[in-house]
Amino acid sequence: MSTRITSTPGSAAMETVRLGQTDLRVTPIAYGTWQFGGEWGAVDEPAAVEAIQRALALGVNFFDTAQAYGFGVSERILGGALAAELRSRRDELVIATKGGLRIDDERGLVRDSSPEWLRRGVEESLKNLRIDHIDLYQVHWPDAEVPFAETGAALAQLIEEGKIRHVGVSNFSVEQMAELSRTTAVETAQPPYHLFRREIEDTVLPYAAENDIGVLVYGPLAHGLLGGTMDAETSFPDDDWRSKSSAFEGETFAHNLAAVKRLGQFAGERGASVSQLAIAWALANPAVDVAIVGARRLEHLQESIGGAGLELGTEDLEEIERIMVDSTPVGGPSPETV
C-alpha cells in the first residue's frame, strides 16, 4: 500500500512511509501516549518525558495522543517533551490527536462529535500540545447521536481555517467511514489490531487498501500480553484497566500466555523478541502503515522500535499462523471508551 524510503528524523535513521492518501511521511512506528492519561495507573511524568524524547532520538517522527487521555494530561506531557523540537523543526514531526469524547456529569465518559465539542477539543489540543496546527485529527469513536454530515462539515471547516491538516477516524466500521467520507475525506483509520484480535482483516483493512486510507493500528502488543514479560502470576493494580479485563484473567489469559511462549521460542530462533515479532507481524500486512507503541520503559521502547526492521517472509507468517491456531481471540470494545 505504501512505498518505503529511508530518512533521518531525530538522530537515528528510520524508514518512512506515506500515510495513505495524505502528504504525511511517517515512521512505521508511532509513539502513543494513552498510558500517560491515568488509565494504566499512576503517571511518572519525568519518565514519560524521557520516553518520548528517547523515541525521538531513536528516529520516531510520528506521535499519537488524544484529548481523552487524561483530558489534556497526555497532550500536555507530549507537547512539553517535544517543545524544543516543535519550535526548531516542526515540519519534520507529525502530531496526531483525537477528539469526540467528553465527561458527562451523569453518564460519565460519552461520545460527542458535535461541531461545538470538536471545535472546543481542537482549540484545547492546540494549546496543550503547544502547536498552531494538528497534522492528523481523528474522531476517537463514532457518535450515534450526531449526524456524520455535521461532524464532517465541522472538520472540513477546521481544515479550511488551518487548525488541522488531515482527518482520520478511530474505532470506526467500514460503513461509518463511508458515511463520514460523503462530507469530508477520511484519510486514515486507527483500529485495534494484534495477533489475538484480527477482525479488521475481513472489513476495515480491505476497505482501507481499496480507498488508499492510511492505517495506524493500536495495541499491536495486545496491551502487554505480547511483550513477553507476563506469566500466570501477573496481576495489575486497581487503577490499571487491565485489572478489569477478561483478556487478562482466567482460562483466556492462561491459554494465550501459552501461545505467547511458543511465539517467543519462534522469535528467539530468529534472533528477535516476541514483541518485535508481534510488531513485525502487524506491519507485514500490506494494508497497515504504522504500528503504535507506547512502552514506558526505555529498554522496552528500544526493543519495540526494532520490530520495524524485522522482515517476515511467507514461511515465517505461515508458522505464526500455525502457532496461533489454538489461541483464544479477544475482542469487543476497547477500554478507552464507554
| Residues designated catalytic | 69
Separation between Cα atoms, residue 337 and residue 137, nearest integer Å: 18
- State the DSSP string of 187-243: -EEE-B-BTTB-GGGGTHHHHHHHTT-EEEEB-TTGGGGGGS---TT----TTBGGG
* Closest to 159 measured CA to CA, from 124, 128, 205, 119: 119
Cross-strand bridge partners of residue 29: 291
The C-alpha angle with vertex 38 and arms to 296 and 27, in degrees rounded to 5, equals 40
Separation between Cα atoms, residue 275 and residue 260, nearest integer Å: 10
Separation between Cα atoms, residue 21 and residue 24, nearest integer Å: 9
- Note whether 126 and 95 are within 8 A (CB): no
Phi, psi of 71 (to 5 degrees): 45, 65
User: Which position has the grid cell 507506547?
Assistant: 294
The C-alpha angle with vertex 135 and arms to 130 and 139, in degrees rounded to 5, equals 100
Long-range own/partner contacts, residues 241-248 (CB < 8 A, 24 or more apart): 241/39, 241/40, 241/335, 242/40, 242/335, 244/335, 245/335, 246/330, 247/196, 247/222, 247/223, 247/330
User: Which position has the grid cell 488508499?
Assistant: 212
Separation between Cα atoms, residue 40 and residue 37, nearest integer Å: 8
Cross-strand bridge partners of residue 97: 137
